[in-house]
Amino acid sequence: MQAPLNGIRVLELARVLAGPWIGQTLADLGADVIKVEAPGGDETRGWGPPFAEDGTAAYYHSCNRNKRSIALDFCDPDDLALVRDLARSADVLIENFKVGGLAKFGLDYATLSAETPGLVYCSVTGFGQDGPDAGRAGYDFIIQAMSGIMDITGEPDGPPTKPGVAYADIFTGLYGTIAVQAALRARDATGRGTHIDMALMDAQMGVLANQAANYFVSGRSPKRLGNSHPNIVPYQTFEAADGPFVIACGNDGQFARLSREMGKDWAADPRFARNADRVTHRAELVALIAAEVASLSRDALMALLDRAGVPGSPIRTIAEAFDTEQARHRGMAVPRPDDAPEGAPATMVRNPIRFSAHDLARPQPAPMLDADGPEIRAALRRRAGEKDAAPGWPERPTRSGR
């Protein structure tokens, strides 16, 4: 079965994480993604250690699988002509240059859409194409500081903390992927593409979710609660006898069953009967549960929660997470294919999307810098030498499963 975006041509003029994440997700879904890099390469190629055997940082490999790479210098007239040829024959263009930065090269949306009306053009910036901050650079860390998410992350008496992954970039990448697919669907109906304006700041604020709603309803900014939930109790970490453990009671029935399994009558106590009561009396209830949990091993606590039908888990390392039976069953760690270049990482993370009627692209490691450049240049120049030839997309080599 073909991947659902088979035949879609994507030109990626993006680096670091948010833009490449869009390109990688589209590539996983079957699109042919050509990544154009400056002669020095995407800077994340050097964001290590750790480095794969090919000398490329693991960071780069995390967001560039299933793509082709060509190194081109926009300041070189011949190279720029090749980029413009690729752009004119692409379905989608992804870029994360500063606002207006591509206009001087004739690679802006206004110029390209006049030549290719069906082009879906996705711009990724820190703050968007307009507004007082539009010209500012915006790395994920800065966006997390500005958007409010760091202020609600961390222990109540500790400093604001960022998550362990660049979530502003990742969320922007996922929203960008959704937007690209929606724009392609609209193009099917109208024949016209569109300009997509994705901002890291917008995306990070857009996923403040219940915390933003809590602010709008109450008029008060939420505060840090560590690993506790602002709206549900008990829904947090506890210390078992041999390590940290998460208990997550999502409703009153689960709490009642937890109480019974622990041999307590907490659910009959008017302070704790309903979730709203438990939130009000959070400190008293958490202290009671913590005292019980402290005497149990994590295995014993997991067995108790399973009997009660209450979600819970010990806090795992990344290594432990990939080593679970469930992760192995779902194939979340994918071995490098036999035809992949030597030196690439031996294992990749599987795209989590599954279809009943489609395959995803067979995972291929991120390409070495300019790995496909000679082949792409040759194809474009052959095309340019043909009389009256329109711009043509250089076809990718056929591999089984793609």
Neighbours of 131 (CB within 10 A): 13
Length of the chain: 402
Dihedral, CA of residue 164, residue 166, residue 167 and residue 173, to nearest 10: -150
3-state secondary structure the chain: CCCCCCCCEEEEECCCCHHHHHHHHHHHCCCEEEEEECCCCCHHHHCCCCECCCCCEHHHHCCCCCEEEEECCCCCHHHHHHHHHHHHCCCEEEECCCCCCCHHHCCCHHHHHHHCCCCEEEEEECCCCCCCCCCCCCCHHHHHHHHCCHHHCCCCCCCCCCCCCCHHHHHHHHHHHHHHHHHHHHHHHHCCCEEEEEEHHHHHHHCCHHHHHHHHHHCCCCCCCCCCCCCCCCEEEEEECCEEEEEECCCHHHHHHHHHHCCCCHHHCCCCCCHHHHHHCHHHHHHHHHHHHCCCCHHHHHHHHHHHCCCEEECCCHHHHHCCHHHHHHCCEEECCCCCCCCCCCEEECCCCCCCCCCCCCCCCCCCCCCCHHHHHHHHHHHHHCCCCCCCCCCCCCCCCC
Catalytic residues: 169
Report d(CA 94, CA 116) in Å as an integer: 15
Beta carbons within 8 Å of 386's beta carbon, 6+ residues apart: none
